Copies of this chain bind each other. A is one copy, B any other.
Amino acid sequence: MERRRNGNGIGGKWHTPCTQCPLRALPHFRDFNAKELDFVAHFKSGELSVDRGSTFLVEGTHSPHIYTVLNGWAFRCKFLSDGRRQILNYVLPGDLVGLQGGLLGAMDHSVEALSPLTLCVFERSKLDRLFERHASLAYDLTWIAAREERILDEHLLSIGRRSAIERTAYLLSYIEQKARQVHMLTVNRPVIPVTQQHVADTLGLSLVHTNKTLRKLADRRLIKWLDRGCEVLASDDLRRLAQWEGLPEMQRPFI
């Protein structure tokens, strides 16, 4: 499996004011009211752009920032001390990362960009003020944490109890749904930008066996594998194969 290494390539600049946040335009997200928007605009201290392959949050470090993804793909992962890697979840626009580190102290996982990535930067130090003055956003924050927990529950069920082909079907159908919700998969850009190594490290399988399992799904015309990417052809069939209910279709908050 993929072993720990280090990549960087971080640059920062300010672009998007919160009032014109492209995420607010997505029907998938709950919009802010004026008071909330005012606070969030104040909470945001800047923007960060990172390259593909860059690990912008590192396990064991203490970050003064929390981030919301504005654009691009990333993943959270964790390593054993001998280098074995487990990918925990994928991160897309609207997702918050670094909250664990922000609340509990040091990061216990890393976050790496799968594509060029733009992030909103929030100051950890202003979190207290959020809880003091903006109950609705505090509620949202808890909601977001509970939602991530729920997804990890499903991942755990998947790795623990689904067969290799079911797991793979679950994962691809999950990513496809999640990405579609935030318009990161379109007719022009239908590809999930992962390697088979990423899939293997998410599913707890070896690279070789992942390759053979993906081939089975491709032979059944459920997916198409491209260079550095996967196109899902039949999301519903994958979902059924995995005995998975799918993501709820409710609107969700973001920060």
Binding site for B on A (CB under 8 A): 1, 76, 78, 80-82, 84-86, 88, 99-100, 103-105, 108-109, 128, 131-132, 135-136, 138-139, 141-143, 145-150, 152-157, 159-162, 201-204, 243, 248, 250
Query: How far apart sit A82 and B242, CA to CA, in the bound complex (Å)?
Result: 11
How many monomers of this chain does the complex have? 2
| Secondary structure call for the A interface | helix
Are A143 and B80 in contact, CB atoms less than 8 angstroms apart? no
Are B135 and A85 in contact, CB atoms less than 8 angstroms apart? no
Q: State the 7 A-B residue pairs at the shortest beta-carbon distance, nearest first.
A: A160-B204, A145-B145, A152-B152, A86-B157, A131-B135, A86-B160, A84-B161
Nearest-Cβ distance from residue A150 to partner chain B, whole angstroms = 5
Nearest-Cβ distance from residue A59 to partner chain B, whole angstroms = 10
Contacts of A103 in B (CB 8 A): 139, 142-143, 146
Query: How far apart sit A155 and B159, CA to CA, in the bound complex (Å)?
Result: 10
| Given A80-B243, A131-B135, 10 other A-B residues pairs in contact with their CB atoms under 8 A | A78-B157, A80-B162, A81-B243, A86-B156, A86-B160, A105-B248, A141-B142, A145-B149, A152-B152, A152-B156
Nearest-Cβ distance from residue A167 to partner chain B, whole angstroms = 10
Nearest-Cβ distance from residue A147 to partner chain B, whole angstroms = 6
Query: How far apart sit A159 and B88, CA to CA, in the bound complex (Å)?
Result: 11
Contact of A156 among B1, B88, B141, B142 (CB under 8 A): B88
Identify the interface centre among A143, A145, A149, A243: most chain B CB within 10 Å of its CB: A149
